[in-house]
Structure 1
Amino acid sequence: MTEYQDDIDDFIEDNPIDDASERYEHYRFVADKGQSLLRIDKFLTDRIEGISRNRIQQAADAGCILVNDQVVKSNYKIKPMDVVSIVMDRPKRVLEIIPEDLPLDVVYEDDDLMVINKKAGMVVHPGHGNYSGTLVNAVAFRLKDLPGYDAKDPRMGLVHRIDKGTSGLLVIAKNENAKTRLSEQFFNKTTKRLYNALVWGSISEDEGRIEGNIGRSVKDRLQMTVFEDGEQGKHAVTHYKVLERLGYVTLVECQLETGRTHQIRVHMKYIGHTLFNDERYGGNQILRGTTFAKYKQFVQNCFNTCPRPALHARTLGFVHPRTKEEMMFEAPLPSDMEELLERWRNYVSSREI
């Protein structure tokens, strides 16, 4: 999700932008000299994180997309050196990052970076509906006296994100060099990221690979989905391994080869194993098991025990941007997921007696 996602989602206005209105540029891209002919909606979805091709098409219909200062439609074919702008009738809304004294579980810190074990329920970055109380606000407070640190400077701070309901490890860059070097590792897929997830159903294979382009759903913009046509969405690969089979649910380890929005949640649902208690993707319903009232009550108690998607970013590995040392961190499962697993273990063992 981009910092100005709220503005992107407001592309479609009741009154489309006309030539007479004052327009503000929100994005600008210049096509390479070797750019092959490509539809502009595909060109832009490849360059703006967290936006669907359908939204781009609607933005074009609203007169928000210009090429060489001329309004174009979504079927326009990009040519070499074309200058593409996304404009709106208002300037960018720049978020003010207010330092807040919030608790942070810092598992490692030096002059260049911090590794934080984020608690479930904490939003990572301020955005629509969450302008305070985020991890970024807490980091800004912790680093407010660091010479040269500016929470609004994109050359430092967040290198990657995890969802609000996901617990686990994040790395924060404290200077420009650290941000550049760490970002390169995430881009080149050389970091090591392992997640633990409890999913519905018994997975038939002990391990596997899920590949499928992920993009924003055209039916529900709050959801991401897998596109099988190979043209929509962005390339995504997840590797999984079964850790423990617990009757109607399975504990898996997921390794990310790419880092798309909601990737594990979407990929696991795609293969028929939605994350346990993932409300956005239907995992807060009883997807496997019996119709007995006692079982329904047991599952409800499990939902209450872990009132969020059962997903934890357990392992994070990267090369230190200054020392070049291999760094590896692990955050054990939080108490809500541990208790959830114990409930399922007890349920399975009681059925076997």
Structure 2
Amino acid sequence: MMRATRLHGPQDLRHDSVPAAGEPSPATVRLRIDAVGVCGSDLHLYETGSIGGRVADEPFILGHEFAGTIDAVGADPRTADGQTLSIGQRVAVDPAVPCGQCECCREGNPNLCPHHHFFGVPPDAGALREFAVVPARNCWVLPDATSAAVGALLEPLGVAMHATDLAKLRIGQSVAIFGAGPIGLLILSLARRSGADPICVFEPVPERRAKARELGATHAWDVPTDATDAAVLQPLREATAGRGVDVAIEAADAHRSVDLSFGAARPGGRAVLVGIPADDRTHFSHAVPRRKGLTVRFARRMKHTYPRALALAQDPDFAAMLEGLITHRFPLAETAAAYDLVHRQADGVIKAIIE
């Protein structure tokens, strides 16, 4: 047996014993889990017991952002980049396991594979447990200088990279980011490295606005619930002389933020929707994106970004930025407290890590 934290129902996380992870098959390895990030999509499962039509109808282990140490290997433990894994190595894990055979996979779009498995989304148990068996091809070896916590952040960093790729952001273009949670802040950091200017951030939580400014946002504005969309966007219109921004990125999973993103984009601009609404529904005014002729892209997880994310995390300054996003750390036994904190957005939490 081993210890794990399981979701027994909405907002009902319990730390208990589950069957041991078992021995790895030929192309897999067994990990001792070292760090697991609490993600916004995890919160949907925590709050409602479902996400995107997937329902946790029995006790379920959450957690898809994770890193660990190999403690057993199968007969052929080779990674996607051809390395042979060994006991004692520290790795980060890509949680998406595509089939590799379907049309999407063959076209180079494994993030769209309709037959994939994904750790932490029903029915595939996640990483909030002591040990897990994972495919070797989903493992990426961590350098000695890269902490397990930063390893767990490679997955959201990859998601942010894919969203930025879809935005086709060019040097000197303007961008607005709606939502300064971990994904929004990572997109901000990438936009800054891409030479975007100005970078406008909209976020209702004061601590997250402050973090956005710290990470290089040109502007960081509140989103008052009692203000009209026009009033919320007025500072952006003034900052861009009425033009709007070249790229608007929605990373807040809130219905209103989609309309705000479309309102912020200039005619002929681009909008990328990253956030996942809790009720699996998105509503927006049709006239604005139609009249502006916007190019609208939906971001689906990540696409071939893990090698770049790992390379970027080896830059000391960028690694320090990633560490700086982590505001709270909890042991596995206190996972329920971590989720409650993130759910309430209390105590200035930006990123919580389970260790």
TM-score (norm 1): 0.29
| Structure label with greater radius of gyration | 1
Would you tell me which structure has more helix in proportion to its own residues? 2
